[in-house]
Chain A
Amino acid sequence: MNQNILLRNNVKVFGSGSQPMLLAHGFGCDQNMWRFVTPAFEDDYRIVLFDYVGSGKSDLRAYSAERYGDLGGYAQDVLDVCATLDLSNVIYVGHSVSSVIGMLASIREPERFERLILIGPSPRYINDAPDYVGGFEHADIEGLLDTMERNYIGWANFLAPVIMKNPDYPELAQELEESFCSTDPKIARRFAEATFFSDNRSDLAEVRVPSLIMQCSDDAIAPLQVGDYLHRHLPGSTLRVMQATGHCPHMSHPDETIRLIKEYLTTERGG
């Protein structure tokens, strides 16, 4: 095993099953976001969590603006983790931008993956008139970058102590410490640009691994039209529109999220 990759991507492996379930966090977060759903799969799967280089507790020294200038670099992180742990038949669960990252990884090495579970996916966030509705205009994303810039500069300095002195909430794991959202501002900006300015519509037809699209009923980031578009263009995809609203159902509605994933993995397997 390549220890470097395990440290570089802060890889965590647990669970008593044999089939790997690899969960990939979205933009702005880290692997901790999965902790409301992983307990439901621990008994049946070998759970693999990781942080992309530049996020969470990954090794920032491994960051290169060039490699992570587009989503392909992030897909390589996924494949590096798979190769290091020698994973196959992977159930890949990706949130938000990690949906596309998972698709890209599965195009490069389809044999590694058995299923892709895509939570709030979008192949392109910016509208492309007249035929495509992504939900955003370029200026909206500029506004997001501005908001990030103003917040990240402060967070880099004060986030750590604030979280440390938070004894009122025992539900919060100690391991969180400074990791969540406290990325280097420049890295976060580049990740945001790679995410929101990307256009992966032409990659969809290349995907060979069957997938589940989990579309929230009211998601500002990935609206219903985007889910429909994906379903039409992604071969072998199943679309489920959730009752959950928002963009993070695995955090806001973990029960429904778990139920849909389990249903998909049991009833549609092999079909």
Chain B
Amino acid sequence: MDSLLDTAPCGFLAFTDDGITVMVNATLLKLLGREPGEVQGKHIESILSVAGRIFYQTHLFPMLKMHGRVDEMYLLLRSKSGENVPMLTNAVRRERDGVTVNDCVFVPMRQRSRYEEEILQAKKEAEEANRLKDDFLATVSHELRTPLTAMLGWVHILRNRALDPQRVAHAVEVIERNARAQAQLIEDLLDVSRIVSGKMRLDVQPIDPAELIETAIESVRPAADAKSVRIQKVLDSGAGPIAGDAARLQQVIWNLLSNAIKFTPRDGRVQVRLERINSHIEITVSDTGAGISPEFLPYVFERFRQADQKLNRHHGGLGLGLAIVRHLVELHGGEVSVYSQGEGQGATFTVVLPLMIIHHQPAEDNSRVHPRASIVSRSIEVTQRLDGVRVLIVDDEADTRDLLATILKQYGAEASSAGSAQEAIAHLNQQPSDVMVSDIGMPDEDGYELIRQVRSLPAERGGNTPAIALTAYARVEDRLKAFQAGYQMYIAKPVEPAELVAVIASLLERNP
């Protein structure tokens, strides 16, 4: 019997309520590298790790005493050499020869323990990620709702009261500003989704970084002026060019500048510096603002993080801007870093981008102006006209049809509308259109289905009508799908009048 116990493939030990070991098998001694005399007759604590001893006193022994048994307990034993040995422990309390003993079986679980550790770690990370997402979702809802409140409120006032023209102008301005703020939030969300799914694509061109920064400064100037924040620039015009996507790099600078202005108090100062250092350029944006606490510093560029998550969030925003900045800079082969001495001490963000390798061109090449560096400004003057152009608008939303028709008529177009794919086909059958602008998401037959039907029509019945897809689904794959279905152009909602007119004009130029 004893030899059977000694050769069993698990450790065995019996102890009394005093904690004294009265029996131990050879397997356990071997697992712990101990001699029988070091365990037998000694306190069970002598083979337990320190944590194991506390657990024995606070859990294992009380449970045995109270429940009579313990199942699948994780317990850290200690070998003679001082190494912790994780054991899966089962124990039962029983009478033997008139004495109460606690019989324990130990199965080593070194491998399993490591595996368990990984699972626990993964669980913690998943819980943390989930918590961050929950917080983020709450923030998104809040941030999307805030501009809505202002917009709906003013719309209500406009409808119910006769306001003087000045107040009307103010109301419209507030509504527009808030709508743009919301559009920006949605853009950021889509950017994050592109980044997460690895679908962010760059349109790389040679860029003059000084020009890029100037344009970005111009676009944040109103926000800075409103707070009397002075923007100081120190730009080395000889730094560059660099290779990159102008729109995306401008987004980077714009984000850093907006942040700096947001966190800088009235009459503060924001400095932008551009320098060439060896084979790269360095763009530094520093401010005299709120600064960043040392604890938060490592998380500044993480998604869903914002330092004041738990406070009243008086700065608003989704906490996505800097995460987007980091990803965009890294996509350009660069690096972004942050420095702050602490709260109230201001912050400095530094973007490092590699210089473009240039093969010198003949001297007459002085027209090297970057084609994309000046981003279409928000309130662009439209010079094109659409006089006499027949546009068919297809959208199930009456408001959208109305809006588009109004815009197009302002530019001289003849707009007609259809509320569904079926109506659109009927319209094309009756009279030709020079261009069709169609929504994608419609009930019954959607915009994809519509264009397929149009393209199957003979040319004389409008089968070749140039078409523009119009939709709130603004992802790359949505765009691709639209082109594949038969559209020539694609415009994301919300529609900029200038963009709509320009796109129609350019489409007609290509398809005279």
Please list the residues of chain A having a beta carbon within 8 angstroms of any beta carbon in chain B: 26-29, 32-33, 96, 136-137, 140-144, 146-151, 154, 158, 162-163, 166, 168-169, 171-172, 176, 180-181, 196, 218-221, 245-248, 251-253
- CB-CB under 8 A from A137, the residues of chain B are 50
- CB-CB under 8 A from A151, the residues of chain B are 55, 59, 73-74
Contact between A180 and B43, CB atoms less than 8 A apart: no
Contact between B58 and A247, CB atoms less than 8 A apart: yes
Residue of B nearest to A140 (CB): B50
Kindly state the separation between the CA atoms of A253 and B58 in the bound complex, as whole angstroms.
15
- CB-CB under 8 A from B56, the residues of chain A are 220
Contact between A246 and B19, CB atoms less than 8 A apart: yes
| B194 proximal to A (CB < 8 A) | no
- CB-CB under 8 A from B66, the residues of chain A are 32-33, 172, 176, 180, 251
Kindly state the separation between the CA atoms of A195 and B452 in the bound complex, as whole angstroms.
71
A-B contacts, 21 of them at CB < 8 A, read A26-B58, A33-B62, A137-B50, A140-B54, A142-B51, A146-B51, A147-B52, A147-B75, A148-B55, A151-B59, A158-B72, A162-B71, A163-B67, A169-B68, A180-B63, A220-B54, A220-B57, A221-B54, A246-B57, A248-B61, A252-B65
With a 10 A CB-CB cut-off, give which of B19, B61, B66 has the most chain A CB atoms.
B66
Kindly state the separation between the CA atoms of A149 and B43 in the bound complex, as whole angstroms.
26
Contact between A150 and B19, CB atoms less than 8 A apart: no
- CB-CB under 8 A from A148, the residues of chain B are 55
Residue of A nearest to B65 (CB): A251
Residue of B nearest to A143 (CB): B51
Kindly state the separation between the CA atoms of A32 and B76 in the bound complex, as whole angstroms.
26
Contact between B69 and A162, CB atoms less than 8 A apart: yes
Kindly state the separation between the CA atoms of A154 and B88 in the bound complex, as whole angstroms.
12
- CB-CB under 8 A from A251, the residues of chain B are 17, 61-62, 65-66
B45 to chain A, nearest CB (A): 5
Kindly state the separation between the CA atoms of A150 and B67 in the bound complex, as whole angstroms.
20
- CB-CB under 8 A from A96, the residues of chain B are 58
Report the tally of A-B residue pairs with Cβ distances under 8 A.
107
Kindly state the separation between the CA atoms of A146 and B74 in the bound complex, as whole angstroms.
10
| B18 proximal to A (CB < 8 A) | yes
| B120 proximal to A (CB < 8 A) | yes
**Closest A-B pairs by Cβ, 9 of them:** A143-B51, A28-B58, A247-B57, A169-B68, A140-B50, A220-B53, A150-B74, A144-B51, A252-B17
Contact of A140 among B51, B61, B73, B74 (CB under 8 A): B51
- CB-CB under 8 A from B76, the residues of chain A are 143, 147
Kindly state the separation between the CA atoms of A251 and B65 in the bound complex, as whole angstroms.
7
| B79 proximal to A (CB < 8 A) | no
A148 to chain B, nearest CB (A): 7
- CB-CB under 8 A from A140, the residues of chain B are 50-51, 54
Residue of B nearest to A195 (CB): B58
Contact between B43 and A218, CB atoms less than 8 A apart: yes
| B176 proximal to A (CB < 8 A) | no
| B118 proximal to A (CB < 8 A) | no
- CB-CB under 8 A from A143, the residues of chain B are 49-51, 76, 84
Kindly state the separation between the CA atoms of A147 and B120 in the bound complex, as whole angstroms.
12
Contact between B53 and A181, CB atoms less than 8 A apart: no
Contact between A180 and B67, CB atoms less than 8 A apart: yes
- CB-CB under 8 A from B93, the residues of chain A are 169
Kindly state the separation between the CA atoms of A180 and B65 in the bound complex, as whole angstroms.
11
Contact between B65 and A181, CB atoms less than 8 A apart: no
Residue of B nearest to A252 (CB): B17
Residue of A nearest to B58 (CB): A28
- CB-CB under 8 A from B69, the residues of chain A are 162, 166
Contact of A220 among B45, B67, B72, B84 (CB under 8 A): B45
- CB-CB under 8 A from B49, the residues of chain A are 143
Kindly state the separation between the CA atoms of A43 and B394 in the bound complex, as whole angstroms.
91
| B116 proximal to A (CB < 8 A) | yes
Kindly state the separation between the CA atoms of A253 and B59 in the bound complex, as whole angstroms.
17
A247 to chain B, nearest CB (A): 4
Contact between A28 and B62, CB atoms less than 8 A apart: yes
